[in-house]
Each structure stands twice: as structure tokens, then as C-alpha cells.
Amino acid sequence: MSEVKIVLLGEGGVGKSALVIQFIINTFLDAYDPIIEDSYRKQVTIDEETCILDILDTAGYEDFSSLRDHYMRTSQSFILIFSITSRKSFEALKEHRERIIKVKGQEKFPLILCGNKNDLESEKEVSDFEAEELARSWGCPFVKTSAKRRMNVDELFFDTVREVRKELVLLESVKKEQKSKKKGKEVKEEEEEKKEKRLEERQYEARKALLKDLLKDGIISSSTFDEYNQKNKTTLGINQ
């Protein structure tokens, strides 16, 4: 059974813990308890394929950046979460993403942008359009959630797994393409070698015919003919 590692990142108070706990045990965590990090595991079946989700809920404080860096290196996927009621939390996500890129040393990785607290529309500070544009620029899906109403909570984590699976399929495709190119290159090199060998053999036959004429005309001796002929056969790997 496959295992998918997911790291949740975002500023403090955006609802990371509430989303995870709602997903794991169908309970809304109303009181905010700032944590350093906590890990959750859950077995799920997504698109008829079962897997284990290993979810890390991180704190939103820079004091624990070394912990986050460790989990970033080993994680397969990320959910960047902001609260629609906090523009500051939305703007901070760019820095979180840059941190992932720096730690992992790559710009492409399975990622979901999540706008949480959609039960508080009247306090909204970030429009759907802004979030969708940011997600488009990052090349990732945008999911609107509400941990309180359990809105799109399952979809958030399921879509993250789908992004991981798409990445794995892409990597496998790249590997097959590279293998195919390597094989094609080897076949081409082998054909070139055969072509070169045939050319050398034709040249050998031409030289042999010339030597026969020289031998017939008495210009060279039979020993010279035999020596030259044997030398060329050895070079070309001809046994007869």
C-alpha cells in the first residue's frame, strides 16, 4: 500500500489544525491551540486506490522553521493554507512557497492552494479571483474550504493525493522516454558500427582484388600477398 506525505503550511490561526482534525475524526476544532507540529495518519481510498496519508500539521511561526525544513525535504506534497478573512495570511504564502523551493531545490512539486474559513464570507479580505490567479501562476489547484462546515475538506486532501499521483505518472513517463531515447541511441550507434564494418569489408575486398592482380602480374610475391591479406582479415575480424 502506498503512502503519501503531506505538509500543511500557513500562518498561525488560518485553520490548519481544524482542517486536519475535521478530516481525520469529523470534528470541528473551535478553540485555537498553537502547536509546534503534529502528525496524523489515515487510510483512505481515492479513485478506487487505497493509500495511507501521513499528514504533518505545522505551526505558523518562524521560530520553528528548522522543523519545517526537515519535513519539507521528505514530504511529497504541500497544502498552502490562508484564511479568506486575512490578507496578511494570503500574502505570506509566497514566502512559504519560496521556502519549499529553496529547501527541496526544485520549483515543481505537488501543491494545493487552500482558502479556508469560507463560512465567514462577510469578513472576507481575499477574493476568489485573486486566489485563483495565484494558483494559476503556480500551476496548482485552488480549493475553497470551511473546516467549521466541513466544506470541501475531503476534497482538499483527496486532490492533494491526485496531484501526487499525477506527478508520479509524469516522472514514470519521463523515465520511459529517457530509456527509449537511450535505447534508440544505442541502436543507432550499433547500426553505425555495422555500416562502418561493411564499408571496411568492402574496402578489404577491393584491396584483396587489387593485390591478386599485382600478384598475377608478378609485381608482388605470394608471401607479401598472404601477409597483407592475413593482416587485413585480422583487423576486420574475418575468419576465412
Per-residue pLDDT tens, the chain, 240 aa: give them: 799 999 999 998 999 999 999 999 999 977 766 654 588 999 999 999 999 999 998 864 455 667 778 888 999 999 999 999 999 999 999 999 999 999 999 999 999 999 999 999 999 999 999 999 999 999 999 999 999 999 999 999 999 999 999 998 887 776 777 777 777 777 777 888 888 888 877 877 777 787 777 777 788 788 877 777 777 666 555 554
CATH code (residue 77): 3.40.50.300
Final residue before a domain boundary, out of 142, 175, 208? 175
Whether 86 and 194 share a structural domain: no
**Which of 183, 176, 181, 83 is closest to 123 using CA atoms?**
83
pLDDT reported for residue 65: 67
Please give the pLDDT value at position 49.
Answer: 95
| Range(s) of the domain holding residue 188 | 181-236
111-116 and 77-83 strand pairing: parallel
pLDDT, position 27: 92
Query: What's the pLDDT at 219?
Result: 81
Closest CA to 114 of 146, 74, 92: 146
Whether residue 191 is found in the same domain as residue 157: no
pLDDT at position 29 is 78
> Do 227 and 121 share a structural domain?
no
Please tell me whether residues 66 and 10 are part of one structural domain. yes
CA distance 172 to 189: 25
pLDDT value for 217: 76
pLDDT for the residue numbered 61 = 47
185 and 171 in a single domain? The answer is no
Query: Residue 145: which of 135, 133, 154 has the closest Cα?
Result: 154
Chosen domain end from 143, 160, 175? 175
**Are 64 and 170 contained in the same domain?**
yes
pTM: 0.72
| Predicted local distance difference test score (pLDDT) of residue 191 | 81
**Do 18 and 97 share a domain, yes or no?**
yes
Residues 218 and 168 grouped into a single domain: no
pLDDT of residue 77: 97
User: Do 30 and 118 fall into the same domain?
Assistant: yes
Both 193 and 89 in a single domain?
no
pLDDT, position 174: 66
C-alpha cell, 48 = 478506487
Q: Name the domain boundary from 159, 175, 191.
A: 175
pLDDT at 33: 62
Residue 238 burial by Cβ neighbours in a 10 Å radius (0-12, 13-18, 19+): middle
Q: What is the pLDDT of residue 41?
A: 94
Q: Are residues 169 and 185 in the same domain?
A: no
Number of domain units in the chain:
2
Same-domain pairing of 104 and 70: yes
